[in-house]
Amino acid sequence: MAKPTTLGELRAAGHEPTTVRAELRRNLRVALAEGRPILPTILGYDDTVVPEVQNAILSGHHIILLGERGQAKSRLIRGLVALLDESVPAVEGCEIHCDPMAPICRRCRARLDAEGDSLAVAWVGREERYGEKLATPDVSMADLIGEIDPIKVAEGRYLADEDTIHYGLVPRSHRGIFAINELPDLMEKIQVGLFNLMEERDIQIRGFKVRLPVDIVIIASANPEDYTSRGRIITPLKDRFDAQIRTHYPRDVATEIAILDQEVPASERDGCPVRIPDFMKSIVAGLTFEARSASDINQSSGVSVRATLNNYETLIANAERRAIVQGEPEIVPRISDLHAVATSMLGKLEFEYTGEERS
């Protein structure tokens, strides 16, 4: 069935404006009722992190995920995009995807008044309603919130005119999900701007106040040590994240191996079959587990699951190299191949030596 292309057709089809929180909640309820996993590629969180994420979505909360590197925080956030509707109607040509029945920007409101039911409607996919930014000290207010566009000013608009704004990533994620990785690395003034947008629904650019009631769910990630350190994040912003969820590494070697099999499937390479003995997988996963409990390694930075994956790939590569040189019919890693993982393992560790340095 063809989708409506004008506001009149949209109204005739019975479309009702809804918030992104209600949309996520509705789709999660359907998934739970049908017994479908909402994060099928995230392993080891079924009894810990996933129920807490579900509770936060049902509550309509902004979420902060706390965990060391390599705990699938970014993948978890991106996986939640699947809970958005496949597509939603928006005013055609609007850069922040205004709902045709409830536009928030002045340009779309003016078009609605002028065009009425003939207002053109476009359909926006769920991926277009997801925004993501890695927080670094050089992230500016223009990146996240917006800035005055000098080209629009040169065209004759006033500086105080809302139409002169070039919107940043957060407004462009209106009616969707916005993710910020490593939140404490944002400068304080950027944190204040973000807090103001989350709480007051207005933005201030170059001294001009603009009311912009964006409908958005913000999900952030952070290292627990940075997030709890005094001065790394302003208290009002911390208070606006309604749900604080702690992620973790796999609790047992079997889960680590399951992640290994999912992420690095070993079938064949250029026609040469690959056969991995189970005990070799256990050694690779066990090596990472030992590193996560070693006193010489900085546990606050963590030992990423990527260490296991990269070690496994290196192990297979060394066995492949040997098979090519020796003319072996299949690729089978051996104990003698384990020395090769040093190149992939050492780059994933941060050592902590007390007293005299050791090699």
Q: How confident is the model at residue 159 (pLDDT cuts 50, 70, 90)?
A: low
pLDDT of 276-287, one tens digit each?
999 999 999 999
Q: What are the structural domains of the chain?
A: 7-246 (3.40.50.300), 253-348 (no CATH)
**Of all helices (H) and strands (E), which one includes residue 235?**
helix 235-240
Read off the amino acid at residue 96: I
**pTM over 0.95, yes/no:** no
pLDDT of 240-287, one tens digit each?
888 999 999 999 999 999 999 999 988 888 888 999 999 999 999 999
Handedness of CA 104, 110, 115, 116 (dihedral sign): positive
Q: Give the chain's mean pLDDT.
A: 87
Q: How confident is the model at residue 203 (pLDDT cuts 50, 70, 90)?
A: low
pLDDT of 95-144, one tens digit each?
899 999 989 888 898 999 999 999 999 999 999 999 999 988 888 888 88
For residue 81, give the nearest of 140, 23, 133, 5 by alpha carbon: 23
Quote the pLDDT of residue 104. 87
Quote the pLDDT of residue 231. 60
- Check if the beta carbon of residue 53 is closer than 8 Å to that of residue 244: no
Q: How confident is the model at residue 342 (pLDDT cuts 50, 70, 90)?
A: very high
